[in-house]
Amino acid sequence: MRRVLVLLFIVSIQLGVSAQNNPLWLRYPAISPDGKEIVFGYKGDLFKVAVEGGKALPLTLHNAHDMMPVWSPDGKSIAFASDRFGNFDVFIIPSEGGEAKRLTYHSGNDFPWDFTPDGKEVVFSSPRNDLNTSVRFPNKGLFGKLYSVPAEGGRSFLISSAGMQHASFDPKGNRLVFQDRKGYEDEWRKRHTSSVTRDIWMYDINENSYQQISDFEGEDREPVFSNDGTSVYYLSEKNGAQNVFKKSLGTNEEVQLTAFKDHPVRHLSISKNGILAFSWNGEVYSLRDGGQPSKVEVEIFGDFSGNDQKIVSVSSGATEMALSPNGKEVAFVFRGEVFVTSADNSQTKRITNTPAQERMLSWDKDGRTLYYSSERGESWDIYKASIVREEEPYFFAATIIKEEAVIASDKDEFQPLVSPDGKKIAYLEERNILKVYDLESRSSKTIIPAGENFSYRDGDQDFTWSPDSKWLVAKNSLGLYGASHMVLYDVNEGGEGVNLTNSGFSDGQGRFAMNGKALVWANDRDGKKPLALQGARELDVYALFFDQAAYDRFRLSKDDFDLIKGKEKKDKGDKSSDEKKKNDEPLKFDLEGLENRKLRLTTGSLNLSSFDMSPDGDKLYLMANFENRYDVWAFDTRTKELKSLAKTNSGPGRIELDKEGKNLFVLANGRLSKIDTGSGKVSNIGINEEMVLDASAERDYIFNHAWRQVKKKFYDPDLHGVDWEMYRDAYAKFLPHINNNYDFQELLSEILGELNGSHTGGRYSPRPENGDQTASLGLFYDESSKESGLRITEVITGGPLDKADSKVKAGHVIEKIDGAVLDLDMDWNKTLNRKAGKNILLSLYDPKSGERWEESVKPIALGTENQLLYKRWVTTMRDMVDSLSEGRIGYVHVQGMNDNSFRTVYDEVLGKNADKEALIVDTRFNGGGWLHEDLSNFLDGKPYATFRPYGFVARGGEPRDKWSRPSVVLMSESNYSDAHAFPYAYRAKGIGKLIGMPVPGTSTAVWWETQIDPTIVFGIPMIAFYGVEEDRPLENLQLEPDIKVNSPFEEILYGKDAQIEAAVKELMEQIK
């Protein structure tokens, strides 16, 4: 079939199909051993072209993503990575074209780097099992293990678990050069100098030893041996942009071979006759040592872009909703487009049709106009869509809809909220400035100026109109970061506003209730709180009454209220014109003694995602989390009775009540539904619509959106001095040459990497259906053994074979899995595919006794195994410290900077380590969060009192909730984000010493923004962290340890942790 496709391709050339003479975004070029041809990736397929340039022929034409080609030494085969089964596996294909053969079968991502010099095996990295002797942190994804797999297929064999990338053999096959990986930084970041940047190493296979080849504090990467094995070519940023360097292994003499500017050289490879190939600025180059780079002019004939336009069903995936004033329609956003659907049937209408994102919906009072925000040009603007024909009352059935811009400028304006009288629009300018736009005069007034609020993510600023359209209540930080108050503003008169809540706790979700007589909002004052400052908090709903009569009426018992209601009904009859006039009068606010008219409505705090109140205030509807799911509850504000209204069995969502209080509309898990508030009956709101998705136009929008977001929200307004306009143009030219999200994610990471900031880069999370999922038996194996069967080196504690009725021990051999013989011709991972939680049969053998037997076992998911490996590692570290200190020093690892990790620290330090004389606090491989203040305060206890019950002297004293004895902090290149801020705070407070390796400066707060294509996310570091001693942010300010200690591969992989030993030594000196 492959040969047929190539033949058809050649025929198309002969028939005169026009050529693409300058294809761009050519990635991962690999030059053939004879130096005559180069294979590269383009639009998810592999192409081959002569080194002199010319027509490129396709090697693969597959709907999967094929990349990272590697030539065999004889030039007859090419190994590459492809995601044909849900993850990247290694495949091999004849270099002249043909059928690709799969070589690896593990559901982790496998990436090929080289062939063995004899061409019999392909060398690749994979996030698989480690050595059981290793005491390095068990992060499989961070430290890919180096394996080889026979080119004809079969079992993979472990070469090294050091964590090698871009590994390449010397000509004799005795040594490998590779780039290391030490931490979590995005691989496409540029020009950073820190301890986490990659270095070049050489591994002597026979000696099992490692030698560092480069030590530049910036990036050194992608090494290859020279043909005689005496030198190494590699890429380095040591003189600016990443270029090609050559280093002699004998003399350490170094020469820079290229001098490209503005963009990095990528993807270095070498032929047997010494010709180098690489990519620069989206194109392929060749280079002879001593010569000048030569661009390979590539022509690609034919259309390989696929169909970027496809029909997409609009049935789930809604990201927001807004109920029409009459309750007959629901507007919602799907993939950045506005739709309106009937609340009673499945009729649905697409309102917008642009590549840009629309969001933040608001209905006009008549239900014939819908407002929303859109980012179509160089800024966010506010638009409206209106039904044109008078005889058509509903959007979902309208034939003509007119759209026009309402508020448009070069500033960002979004989040419109139409006043109840339809005459004004409250909205945000530049995310933090609250304004009101008068539709008649077409002028705006500022309500909250810049500098009072600080938006973190778009849409996090609350504001609400009063029923008479004369007042706004808005959440305001009042210039204090992290604070939030409910502040009342007179829209007509202006002024500073009145702080209604004045709470040190967090206010949000404010809205007027009971026809403007009260404000209801959520606050975390009385709810359960995390042990740390940051974390999930329980909320309550509170009410604040604007006059005494409304307050008194609301507090009546049910019996007293029923009596009054009966009398009012008897006296009322038909509503008089005087009463109607009274209801239309402007609201009046009695602000004297306001704090005395505040009520906590809920009697029990809740994990609350949304709430709404009935028109008369007698019912409060809550979307809250009980039993690990969100459901809808009804709370009677008079009887204080809480009842389950409807089971939604969802994640957090949003609810909205119609004006009559009869139906509650729900958006949860991307789906719309309606709940009858009387019966609790749930009706799904069917959506009968589809849309044409132009993926290419969508990617263009996301690219430009990301560029604009960075310009608006990056923590440094000067963008680290980067020419952001230039880079926009430089990278935008690649967009027509990208037809998939793998390439697009790399493009986003490349441009964001120009900022030289942490917390940036694109992320792509594909959602394959029925992809491979390798299960785990909870074992370590001898994967270097070339004997049949799998020899077990350790049974992991807590794993599926760690049970009383299992005889499996280290040294035993698995001979069969479900009857499949584990010989060398077969990849045993096949037998565990999608077997988690299912009974399988193991055939086992004990070489010592000669016994053979069978055991049934249920494998576990790899994620579960990772949790067991973490527990195992912590136990190993704790035991090591206990042994080295003879039981005098305690140990705790801080897994993340979050509440759950803080609870572990608190539990273990004041529990099993309570009697220890000193403490090691290990923060290595901590990816961050927000815990620096809590954790440093916890370790900064200063004794000031003791307790003496009945004359006895009790151990301990005050403070009881802090550690008050000596401690040290272990840190490394892998500390990230708040795991940089914590050791900084620990040192700034003078608590103790820092031991280990320098920590890169990554102390910024990030917003990871999910895009309208929900598989794409990118990050923006928005908030800088300044120490009081530095007149600069901690970002890119490396934190040096007091005692610097590395962890050599030869030690850490075989049971010795020099950093733990140094920490114990230091504390033993302090407590001797």
- Predicted local confidence at residue 505, as pLDDT: 93
pLDDT of residue 460: 95
| DSSP-derived secondary structure for 425-468 | EEEEETTTEEEEEETTTTEEEEEE-TTS---SSTT---EEE-TT
pLDDT tier for residue 12 given thresholds of 50, 70 and 90: very low
Is the pLDDT at 488 greater than 60? The verdict is: yes
Lowest mean per-residue pLDDT among 212-221, 567-576, 636-645: 567-576
User: 4 pLDDT band (50/70/90 cuts)?
Assistant: very low
Average pLDDT over residues 734-745: 97
SS percent in the chain: helix, strand, coil, step 5: 15, 35, 50
Averaged pLDDT, 52-64? 96
% of the chain at pLDDT higher than 70: 97
Helix 741-753 vs helix 724-732: angle between axes, to the nearest 10 degrees?
Answer: 160
User: Domain 606-682, what fold?
Assistant: Thrombin, subunit H (2.40.10)
- Summarised one tens digit per residue, pLDDT across range 839-862 is 999 999 999 999 999 999 999 999
> Residue 2's pLDDT is what?
40
Please, what is the angle between helix 862-884 and helix 1058-1071, to 10°? 40
Segment (H or E) for 813: strand 813-817
The domain over range 2-130+142-301 is classified in CATH as 2.120.10.60: yes
* Mean pLDDT within 526-546: 92
Lowest mean pLDDT among 261-275, 685-699, 917-931: 685-699
For residues 643-659, average pLDDT: 95
pLDDT tens for 17-54 read: 445 678 999 999 999 999 999 999 999 999 999 999 99
The predicted structure's pLDDT at residue 709 = 97
**Alpha-carbon gap, residue 518 to 529, rounded angstroms:** 27
- Higher-pLDDT residue of 484 and 303 is 484
Q: Which of 846, 901, 837 is nearest to 874 (CA)?
A: 901
Residue-level pLDDT at 575: 54
305 pLDDT band, cuts 50/70/90, is low
**If you average pLDDT over residues 795-817, what whole number do you get?**
98
Angstrom distance (rounded) from CA 71 to CA 92? 10
Mean pLDDT confidence for 328-334: 98
Q: What is the pLDDT of residue 569?
A: 78
Which DSSP state fits 2? H
Mean pLDDT score, 771-792: 97
Handedness of CA 983, 989, 992, 994 (dihedral sign): positive
Task: Say what the pLDDT of residue 13 is.
Answer: 39
Report, as an integer, the average pLDDT of 575-603. 79
pLDDT above 90 covers a percentage of the chain that reads 89
**What pLDDT, on a 0 to 100 scale, did the predictor assign at position 59?**
97
Strand order, beta sheet including 298-301: 19-20, 298-301, 54-58, 45-50, 37-42, 27-31
**Residue 584 pLDDT > 90, yes or no?**
no
Kindly tell me if the per-residue pLDDT of 379 is higher than 90: yes
* 16 pLDDT more than 60: no
pLDDT tens profile 386-426: 999 999 999 999 999 999 999 999 999 999 999 999 999 99
**Which pLDDT value is given to residue 628?**
86
Residue 325 CB partners (closer than 8 Å, separation 6+): 363, 364, 365, 366, 367, 659
Q: In 273-372, where does DSSP find H-type helix?
A: none
Angstrom distance (rounded) from CA 305 to CA 120: 35
Cβ-based neighbours of 793, under 8 Å, separated by 6 or more: 132, 779, 780, 781, 782, 810
Give the pLDDT confidence score for residue 156 in this predicted structure.
98
Tell me, what's the pLDDT at 346? Answer: 87
**The pLDDT value given to residue 565:** 84
Please state the rounded mean pLDDT for residues 480-493. 93
Choose which CATH entry (3.40.50.300, 1.10.260.40, 3.40.50.620, 3.90.226.10) describes domain 885-1001+1038-1071: 3.90.226.10
Nearest of 652, 629, 646, 665 to residue 332 by alpha carbon: 665
Question: Distance of CA 754 to CAs 719, 727, 862, Å?
Answer: 10, 8, 35
Distance CA 489, CA 487 (A): 7
Nearest residue to 1013 (alpha-carbon basis) of 545, 665, 693: 693
Compute the average pLDDT of residues 1005-1030: 95
Distance CA 605, CA 182 (A): 44
pLDDT, position 10: 40
Determine contact, residues 112/90, Cβ cutoff 8 Å. yes
CA-wise closest residue to 269 among 163, 200, 166: 166
- Give me 714's structure tokens: 């990056």
Note the pLDDT of residue 6. Answer: 40
Averaged pLDDT score across all residues of the chain: 94
Predicted TM-score of the model (pTM): 0.94
- DSSP-derived letter for residue 597 is G
- The beta strand positions in 138-219, using DSSP E, are 145-150, 157-160, 165-169, 175-179, 200-204, 209-212
Q: For 539-557, write each residue's pLDDT tens digit.
A: 999 999 999 999 999 999 9
172 CB neighbour count, 10 Å cutoff: 9
Looking at residue 3, its pLDDT comes to 40
> Closest by alpha carbon to 914, among 878, 965, 877?
965
- Ranges of each domain in the chain: 2-130+142-301, 606-682, 775-845, 885-1001+1038-1071
pLDDT score, position 19: 53
Backbone phi, psi, residue 690, to 5°: -145, 160
Q: What is the pLDDT of residues 901-953, one digit of tens each?
A: 999 999 999 999 999 999 999 999 999 999 999 999 999 999 999 999 998 98
CATH architecture of the domain with residue range 775-845? Roll (2.30)
The pLDDT confidence band at residue 585, using thresholds 50, 70 and 90, is confident
What is the average per-residue pLDDT within 317-329?
A: 97
